[in-house]
Amino acid sequence: MEINVLNTDGQSTGRSIDLPDEIFKVEKNDHLLYLSVKQFLANQRQGTHESRERGVIRGSTRKLKRQKGTGTARAGSIKNPLFRGGGRIFGPRPRDYSQKLNKKVKELARKVALSQKAGEGKIVVVEDFTFETPKTSQFIQVMDNFEVGNSSHLVVLGDADQNVVLSGRNVKKASVKKATDLNVYEILKANKIIMAEGAVEKIKELYK
């Protein structure tokens, strides 16, 4: 698949670049996308939630009242979950939510996601660019040249360019990633993907 290379003004440079079919024209597979997105979101969870059950509540262990003859329910501790200030019943505990997905499955899922965006015409290839200093307004201007509007967009770089990363950090609905850090969730979430030439070459090296 041949695609025109644009400059940062959104104009054609007169050059084109090849997007290999084995990466950008892979058969659709919704289940692979589901597994990859599910794993990504699960791995974002910290799992540090915790509540105080009756075993960690401070309070007397004296029996509150006699067992029988009061006409009310039995009560053996002020830490009873039924009382105000008592422990919580079956509360959340710290746990690891991370899930495992085979390396080849994740790689194929990324190819499927990229192929879906390429088929929809939502991938734009731009010549490699950088900024002299981090400047959010300059980043926004470049993105406006690609008509991203108010929709979410993903900028993919061949190598980490700190000035570009910092320039796009505070832009709403914008995300800047290295080609090596791409994930299915952010590919699918983006309405348009602005991919640098260097990123395309890096993707070819990684997935071919």
Residue-wise pLDDT tens digits, 52-106 = 999 899 988 899 999 999 999 999 899 999 999 999 999 999 999 999 999 999 9
| CB burial readout 87-106, b (16+ within 10 A) else e | beeeeeeeeeeeeebeeeeb
Domains and CATH numbers, the chain: 2-29+102-207 (3.40.1370.10), 46-96 (no CATH)
The pLDDT, as a whole number, for residue 186 is 94
Question: What single-letter amino acid sits at 144?
Answer: D
The pLDDT, as a whole number, for residue 207 is 85
- Rounded Cα distance between 90 and 100, Å, is 27
pTM: 0.82
- Rounded Cα distance between 152 and 47, Å, is 28
Tens-level pLDDT at each residue, the chain (208 residues): 888 899 988 888 888 898 999 999 999 999 999 999 999 999 999 999 999 999 899 988 899 999 999 999 999 899 999 999 999 999 999 999 999 999 999 999 999 999 999 999 999 999 998 999 999 999 999 999 888 888 899 999 988 889 999 999 989 889 999 999 999 999 999 999 999 999 999 999 988 7
